[in-house]
Amino acid sequence: MDKITLSKMCFEGHTGCLDFEKKDGQNFYVSLELFVDRIKGCYSDELSDTVDYSQIYEVTKEVVTSDSGNLIEHLAQRIADAVLKADGSIEKVIVNVSKPDAPIDGVFETMEVTIERSRKEFVILSLGSNLGDREDNISKAEEALRNLPGIEDFRVASIYETEPVGLEEQPYFLNTCVGFYTDIDPFELLDKIHVIESNLLRTREIHWGPRTIDIDIIFYGDKVIMKPELTVPHPRWNLRSFVTVPLRELKDVGQEHPDDKEVSLYRERR
C-alpha cells in the first residue's frame, strides 16, 4: 500500500481526567499515517485522485477541539473513526496522539498513544451446537462474540434445527448465523473464536463429530483467504442449508441455495 503522512498537527483540546484540563485546555499533537491501495494521483497528477489533506486536517481538528473525554486513547479512536469515514480510499490509518503537557510530576518530553485501525469489514459467522443445552451454547457464543472489542452492528439470524452432515449417528444440530462489522484481523478473529469455543468446552476428537459449539468464518468482507488454518469464503458454504438459510436474513449473497425443505425452522426468543 502507498502511505501518506500528516505529522505533528497541533490543536488545542480539552481531553483529560482533571477538571482544569477540561476547563483550560492544552495543546495536543496528532500524526497520521494514511494507507491507500495505489494512489491514482501518482499516475494522473490530478488532485481528485489522492487524499484531500485539507479535509483530513479539518476532520482531525474538529475531533480534537470538540472532545472533552478523559483518555487520549479514546481520542485516538475517535480520530481513526472520523478519518476512515471521511475518505473511502483510506484502507488503514495509524494515529499518534501526543500530550506534552500531561499533568504528571517528573521529567518527560511527552505522553503519547499510537493505535492502528483498518476499515471495518462485514463478517458473517456460522454457529452450530448439538451437545448439552444447544440454545444456551449458541446464546453464550453470540454474547462472547458481541462483547469482543472492535465489533459493531452485531446482527443475529433465526435458529434452525438441522440434520447432522458427514457423521449421521449423532444428535440434531441447532444452527444460526451472525454478522457484524469489525477491523479485527481475520487470523486474530480466528484465534478469538477458538478461545470462545474452548471456553464452551468444544473438543475436536472426531471430524464432523458432535460438539457443544462450532463457529466458522463464512465471509470476511470480500476477502479471499486460502491458508491451511483459514479458508474464506468457507468451503462449500453454498451447499449447506444450515448456512444459506439463516444467511439470507443477514445478507443477500446472490447465490443459488439448496432446497430449504431439508431445514426445519426453530424460532424461539428470536
Residues designated catalytic: 99
Q: Which residues pair with 93 in a beta bridge?
A: 34, 117
3 state DSSP class of 91? strand
Helices 53-66 and 72-86 pack at an angle, to 10 degrees, of 150
Q: 480520530: which residue's cell? A: 79
Beta strands in the chain, from DSSP E residues, in sequence order: 2-13, 26-36, 90-99, 111-118, 121-129, 151-156, 160-162, 173-182, 214-220, 225-227, 230-232, 264-265
What is the CA 150 to chain-centroid distance, rounded?
5
Helix, strand, coil: what percent of the chain each, to 5? 30, 30, 40
3-state secondary structure of 195: helix
